[in-house]
Amino acid sequence: MNSQQPRHVEHQQTDKGYVPVYTTTVVAQPWADYTATDHDVWRQLYERQRALLVGRASDEFLVAQDAMGMTPDAIPKFDDLNEVLRAATGWELVGVEGLLPELTFFEHLANRRFPVTWWIRKPEQLDYLAEPDLFHDLFGHVPLLMNPVFADYMQAYGRGGVKAHGIGPEALVNLTRLYWYTVEFGLIQQNDGLRIYGSGIVSSKGESIYCLDSDAPNRIGFDLERIMRTRYRIDTYQKTYFVIDSFEQLMQATGPDFRPLYERLASQDSYAAGDVLDSDQVFHRGSGEGWSSDGDV
Ligand SMILES: [Fe+2]
C-alpha cells in the first residue's frame, strides 16, 4: 500500500453532508514517507498561523504548543510528542486515516487517546479543507491537551459521548453542539480581551481574523443548555461564538449527568445558529453581514 494515500473505506451521505469514513483502526504514523512538499506545507501553515495567533490565541494555547516542542521545521513525530504529553497529562496521540465513527472517537477520548489524522493537505489547500487533516488535528487540537483542566474536559466529553451514544441520536446531536462550540470554535475571555482556543479557528487563517475582528458574528457567554439547543454551520464561518471565562467553567459544566438535560431538550425547538436571546450574556451582537439564511445543521 502506498502510505501517501489514506485508505477510504466508504462515504456516506448524512445530515451533515457527505462524510468520508476511513479505516477505523489505529495506524502508525508513516513519518519516513512524508515528502518534502508535506513538510513544506506544515512549515508554511505553522509559520503563518503562529504569526497570526500571537495576541489572538489564548495564552494557554501558545504556551502549550511551545512546551510540546512543536516547531515549523518538520512535521512532528507522534512518538516524540507523546513522551511530552504523557508526562504532562497522561494523554497520547494515536494515528488515524481520518474521521472516525462517533462511538470509536468517543472511546478514544474517554481513554485519553486523541486520534490524529496522519496525512497533510496539499499545497493548493492551505486555506480550506472540508475534513480534518494533520494540520488541523495536530496544530489545532493537540496543544491544549497539555493543559490539565482542558485535558480532563476532553476525557469527560468522551465519556459523555459514550453515554449519549447509548441514549440515542437526539442526545448525540445535543452533545455534538457542545463540542462544536467549545473544542472546535470556542473563545475565552482573558484579562486582556477575547482570545481563541477552538481548534477549528486556530487552524484557519480566515476564521482566526473573522471570529475576533468582524462585526458580523455574535459573541455570547457560555451557557451549556443554550449551546446544546443551538444549530451550527459547517460550510461557513460561525454566526455565533460562545465565550468561556476559564477552562474550569467548561469542566464544571460537564460535571452533572446530562440525561435530564437531554430529556428536557427533546421537547424543545432548537435555536438558529445566529439567534440572540434575551437571556444571553451578549459580548457582541452580530450585524449578520454576509450570513446566508439557510444551511444550519
Ligand atoms: Fe477538529
Tell me the DSSP string of 210-227. Answer: HHHH-SSSEEEE--HHHH
Q: What are the grid coordinates assigned to 60, written together?
A: 494557554
How far does the centroid of ligand 1 lie from the alpha carbon of residue 137, in Å?
Answer: 6
Please tell me the distance between residue 199's alpha carbon and the centre of ligand 1 in angstroms.
6
Q: Comparing 27-31, 72-76, 246-250, 261-265, which segment has the lowest mean pLDDT?
A: 27-31
Instruction: Tell me the average pLDDT of the chain.
Output: 92
Residue 120 Cα to ligand 1 middle (Å): 14
How far apart are the CA of 264 and the centre of ligand 1, in A?
A: 28
| pTM for this prediction | 0.93
Residue 125 has pLDDT above 50, yes or no: yes
Secondary structure E strands in the chain: 8-14, 17-22, 92-96, 113-117, 187-190, 193-196, 218-221, 240-244, 282-284
Report the pLDDT averaged over residues 249-261: 95
Q: Is the pLDDT of residue 12 over 60?
A: no
Does 66 score more than 90 pLDDT?
Answer: yes
Give the distance (Å) from ligand 1 centre to CA of residue 287: 27
Distance CA 159, CA 120 (A): 29
Residue 274 confidence (pLDDT): 96
**Which of 5, 80, 4, 69 minimizes the C-alpha distance to 36?**
4
Kindly give the distance from the C-alpha atom of residue 157 to the centroid of ligand 1, in angstroms, as a whole number.
Answer: 14
- What average pLDDT score do residues 103-114 get? 96
What are the pLDDT digits (tens) for 157-190? 999 999 999 999 999 999 999 999 999 999 999 9
Helix, strand, coil percent values for the chain (each to nearest 5): 45, 15, 40
Reported as a pLDDT band with limits 50, 70 and 90, residue 2 is very low
CA 186–ligand 1 middle distance (angstroms): 12
Distance 142 CA to ligand 1 centre (A): 10
| Ligand 1 midpoint to CA 132 (Å) | 6
Name the nearest CA neighbour of 151 among 101, 85, 206. 85
How many angstroms does the Cα of residue 16 sit away from the middle of ligand 1? 15
- Name the amino acid, one letter, at 220: I
The fraction of the chain above a pLDDT of 90, given in percent, is: 84
The rounded Å distance from CA 7 to ligand 1 centre is 19
Average pLDDT over residues 48-55: 97
Please give the pLDDT value at position 68.
94
Q: Which three cell numbers stand for residue 240?
A: 455565533
Pairing of strands 113-117, 92-96: parallel
Residue 278 Cα to ligand 1 midpoint, Å, equals 31
pLDDT of residue 24: 75
* Residue 270 Cα to ligand 1 middle (Å): 23
The model's pLDDT over 210-222, given as tens digits with 9 standing for 90+, comes to: 999 999 999 999 9
Between the CA of 184 and the centroid of ligand 1 the distance, in Å, is 6
Lowest mean pLDDT among 22-26, 30-34, 269-273: 22-26
Report the separation in Å between the CA atom of 190 and the middle of ligand 1, taken as the mean of its atom positions.
23
d(CA 43, CA 17): 31
Cell of 191: 484579562
Question: Distance, CA 144 to ligand 1 centroid (Å)?
Answer: 13
